[in-house]
């Protein structure tokens, strides 16, 4: 199975990569890289539900405007550029596509806003830009909004995590003209910094991983799509007092477990999901590298791949019947890997 890899443009990175991950042999192989058509800092990628088009942010600021770039995916091992648009903000860091493959959202971290786009056969066309306002407790990291991620609940509703103002905001769009028609904000604890978000649509539950205080919030989603906070739990040991921040969050394939990554502690935290949705901490697993900014669970549910940004490698773990991450010893060197995305055939 092939995987897309997004990177930061440093330490001789060649932008977007495609890897082959052979689950039967538990081996990685580099398939391709795309230095000529990758934007600066393609740090986050998305793929449409038909696995035909790929979208990459170009995470840069006003001196080099932020971009969103679209590609055709050919034979699961080649990218062909379609077009690009400005992100109309600084440091775009996350992108998501709805299930109908006709609407895309990009968040701009440094300017605290997001832009929306219409999609037509992969071609992106700008619709509008929405800006956040406010600040929060942490005077270094939260003196202004910092929109960080987008998650679709359905084709007309999505949530945006804003690390800078400690809010998760639900937006609804008009399905005819794709314009934002309403929004509602939900607060997390002051100084928590919500970063990434996952949704269990069947059980109407959601979990945010909070970068600044290394916690996870568990929310119930009511009939109005409001987030009802039920639990806050730490991702790091009580006695750990060195600098650490969280990054990414994912369910196991069966949604019996939840995992979150810790940068500094350099670990994956594993939680058992109770019948009522509450989390029970189970254990930590070393990521065998430095700064696990992103990780991903394979579609088979049998493997976890971890992108260790500052040790320039991707490490492979086998997932056993208890949801534990078992190191296979297999890794591949990629400069500054920060996004992993499986191409499902």
Name the token pair of 10: 């440093």
Rounded Cα gap, residues 245 and 334, in angstroms: 22
Give the homologous superfamily in CATH for domain 1-38+235-345: YVTN repeat-like/Quinoprotein amine dehydrogenase (2.130.10.10)
Longest Cα separation, the chain: 53
What is the model's pLDDT at position 36? 98
The β-bridge partners of 33 are: 17
Neighbours of 66 (CB within 10 A): 28
Q: Of the candidates 107, 112, 113, which has an alpha carbon nearest to the alpha carbon of residue 95?
A: 107
Rounded Cα gap, residues 163 and 149, in angstroms: 9
Rounded Cα gap, residues 273 and 306, in angstroms: 21
Place of tokens 């995590």: 161
What is the model's pLDDT at position 47? 98
What is the model's pLDDT at position 64? 81
Q: Is the pTM of this model over 0.85?
A: yes
What is the model's pLDDT at position 45? 98
What is the model's pLDDT at position 46? 98
Rounded Cα gap, residues 2 and 76, in angstroms: 7
Residue-wise burial string across 290-303, b where 16 or more C-beta atoms lie within 10 A, e elsewhere:
ebbbbbbbbeeeeb
Rounded Cα gap, residues 266 and 231, in angstroms: 24
Rg (CA), the chain: 19
CA 11 to chain CA centroid, Å, is 22
Contact 114, 150 (CB under 8 A): yes
Digitized pLDDT (tens) for each residue of the chain, 345 residues in all: 999 999 999 999 999 999 999 999 999 999 999 999 999 999 999 999 999 999 999 999 767 889 999 999 999 999 999 999 999 999 999 999 999 999 999 999 999 999 999 999 999 999 999 999 999 999 999 999 999 999 999 999 999 999 999 999 999 999 999 999 999 999 999 999 999 999 999 999 999 999 999 999 999 999 999 999 999 999 999 999 999 999 999 999 999 999 999 999 999 999 999 999 999 999 999 999 999 999 999 999 999 999 999 999 999 999 999 999 999 999 999 999 999 999 998
What is the model's pLDDT at position 38? 98
Residues 6+ apart with CB under 8 A from 43: 6, 7, 8, 57, 59, 93, 338, 339
What is the model's pLDDT at position 226? 97
């Amino acid at each position: 199975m092939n995987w897309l890899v997004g990177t930061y443009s440093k330490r001789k990175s060649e932008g977007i990569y495609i890897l082959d991950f052979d689950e039967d042999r538990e081996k990685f192989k580099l398939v391709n890289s795309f230095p000529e058509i990758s934007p600066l800092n393609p740090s986050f990628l998305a793929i449409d539900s038909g696995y035909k088009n790929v979208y990459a942010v170009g995470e840069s600021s006003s001196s080099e405007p932020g971009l969103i770039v679209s590609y055709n995916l050919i034979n699961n091992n080649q990218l062909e550029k379609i077009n690009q648009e400005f992100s109309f903000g600084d440091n775009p860091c996350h992108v998501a596509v709805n299930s109908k493959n006709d609407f895309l959202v990009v968040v701009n971290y440094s300017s605290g806003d997001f832009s929306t786009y219409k999609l037509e056969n992969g071609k992106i066309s700008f619709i509008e830009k929405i800006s956040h306002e406010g600040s929060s407790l942490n005077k270094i990291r939260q003196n202004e909004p910092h929109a960080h991620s987008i998650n679709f609940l359905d084709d007309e509703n999505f949530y945006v995590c804003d690390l800078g103002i400690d809010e998760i905001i639900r937006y609804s769009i008009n399905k005819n003209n794709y314009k934002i028609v309403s929004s509602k904000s939900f607060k997390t604890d002051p100084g928590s910094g919500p970063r990434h978000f996952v949704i269990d649509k069947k059980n109407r539950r959601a979990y945010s991983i909070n970068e600044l205080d290394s916690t996870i919030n568990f929310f119930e989603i009511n009939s109005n799509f409001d987030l009802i906070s039920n639990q806050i739990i730490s991702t790091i040991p009580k006695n750990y007092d060195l600098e650490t921040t969280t990054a990414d969050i994912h369910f196991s394939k069966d949604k019996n477990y939840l995992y979150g990554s810790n940068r500094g502690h350099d670990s994956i935290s594993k939680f058992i999901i109770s019948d009522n949705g509450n989390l029970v901490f189970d254990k930590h697993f070393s990521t065998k590298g430095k700064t696990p900014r992103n990780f991903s669970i394979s579609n088979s549910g049998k493997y976890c791949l971890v992108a260790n940004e500052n040790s320039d490698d991707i490490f492979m773990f086998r997932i056993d019947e208890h949801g534990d991450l078992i190191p296979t010893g297999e890794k591949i060197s990629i400069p500054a890997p920060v996004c992993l995305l499986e191409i499902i055939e």
